[in-house]
Amino acid sequence: MINFKKIFSEFNNKRVLIIGDAMIDAYMWGGINRMSPEAPVPIVEIQKHETRLGGSANVALNIQSLEAKPILCSVIGNDMHGKLFLDLMHKSNLSTKGILISKKRRTTLKTRIIANEKHQLRVDEEDTKPIELENKFINKINEHISSCDVVILQDYNKGTLTQNVIKEIITTANELNIPTIVDPKKINFSNYNNCTVFKPNLSEIKEGMKIDFNSNNQNEINEVTNKLLNKLQAKAILLTMSEKGISITNNKEFEYTPAFQRKIIDVSGAGDTVISVASLCLTTEMNFKILSKLSSLAGGIVCEEVGVVPINKNKLLSEASIFINYE
């Protein structure tokens, strides 16, 4: 029997450094009752607006929900959306000490239009060029990294994580014996050498490795993840496969876990939850097998709600005690 209550209590007050692209997730809720006379598109009658922290800031919210202490380092624009982002951070009781403001980029805003209980459209406002405050950003990160128990690198291809930033973070973390966990995207996929855990999804690993394989075949999954493990010299590859489940590969073992059965409503933000739970597991003595199962369970839980939402710690604890202890 795994004592999840004890493990979850160990999450409390752990310091987690989150580095990556922060953004705002905006929602417009309404209904569709007619088509536009101007073009063959539906007219959405908006009834409610909502703004939430997104990207690496949603990871910070997940860490906070797990009762650990998040420290977010990111770069936002000197614009109205940047001001809104800082306001949302303050309202969520999240520190802004790691946030840099740039006059040369926009704050990323993703607006989702939801009508008749369906996600109809998404509109993005953003800059994706590499940050120009690279050295200043590295210095900002170095102010916080030594006091942290684990480092998350959250990459959305928006330009915050450059090759130099990535190399400096991982090198420093390894020198300090602090584990690092990476949620990658295409541009920097092969730049995370010597990280502790690398967490791609199916499309990312196929595109990043320029290889196709049968995701229903565990032998093929094991072969590809081992190639990636050796290429990056990482300690483990945590591969998320949506409804197919999750796998974990290290030099000693390969473990595949089918997805826990759930009523999936919205997968937005599930990856943020998976990496948040996995990062805190790295701060305990939990083995990789249980880390992957617990992370997968958490990702499924948040998929049962509309929009990007953080994990509920008590619900995760309750379900882990049932589904993982007695599977």
pLDDT of residue 322: 85
pLDDT of residue 143: 97
What mean pLDDT do residues 70-98 have? 98
**Nearest CA-CA partner of 284 in 72, 60, 61, 8:** 8
Coil/strand/helix, residue 308: coil
DSSP, res 178: -
| pLDDT exceeds 80 at position 6 | yes
Six token digits for residue 100: 């840099």
What mean pLDDT do residues 200-224 have? 92
| pLDDT exceeds 70 at position 91 | yes
Query: What's the residue count for the chain?
Result: 327
What mean pLDDT do residues 217-225 have? 92
316 φ, ψ (degrees, to nearest 5) = -65, -45
Q: Which of 175-184, 194-203, 300-309 has the lowest mean pLDDT?
A: 300-309
| pLDDT exceeds 80 at position 325 | no
Distances (CA, A) of 21 to 175, 206, 313, 314: 24, 23, 24, 28
- In DSSP terms, 173 is beta-bridged to none
pLDDT of residue 160: 98
What mean pLDDT do residues 234-261 have? 88
pLDDT of residue 285: 87
Q: Which residue has the higher pLDDT, 252 or 41?
A: 41
Q: Which residue has the higher pLDDT, 312 or 20?
A: 20
Catalytically active residues, by annotation? 272
pLDDT of residue 301: 87
What mean pLDDT do residues 215-240 have? 94
| pLDDT exceeds 80 at position 264 | no
pLDDT of residue 267: 67
| pLDDT band per the 50, 70, 90 thresholds, residue 257 | confident
How buried is 217 (Cβ within 10 angstroms: 0-12 exposed, 13-18 middle, 19+ buried)? exposed
Q: Which residue has the higher pLDDT, 299 or 259?
A: 299
| pLDDT exceeds 60 at position 326 | no
Beta strands 15-20; 150-154: pairing state: parallel
Measured distance CA(79)–CA(90) in Å, rounded = 17
pTM of the model: 0.93
Q: Which of 142-151, 214-223, 241-250, 318-327 has the lowest mean pLDDT?
A: 318-327
pLDDT of residue 266: 64
pLDDT of residue 2: 87
pLDDT of residue 216: 87
Q: Which residue has the higher pLDDT, 311 or 80?
A: 80
What percentage of the chain exceeds 90 in pLDDT?
Answer: 81
Coil/strand/helix, residue 179: coil
Contact (Cβ atoms closer than 8 angstroms) between residue 210 and residue 248: no
**Radius of gyration of the chain from its Cα atoms, rounded to whole angstroms:** 20
Domains and CATH numbers, the chain: 4-23+53-107+127-324 (3.40.1190.20)
What mean pLDDT do residues 296-320 have? 85
What mean pLDDT do residues 229-243 have? 94
Contact (Cβ atoms closer than 8 angstroms) between residue 307 and residue 268: yes
pLDDT in tens, 25-55: 999 999 999 999 999 999 999 999 999 999 9
User: Whole-number mean pLDDT of the chain?
Assistant: 93
Contact (Cβ atoms closer than 8 angstroms) between residue 84 and residue 51: yes
Distances (CA, A) of 293 to 40, 168, 284: 45, 31, 15
Measured distance CA(314)–CA(327) in Å, rounded = 19
| pLDDT exceeds 90 at position 307 | no
pLDDT of residue 113: 96
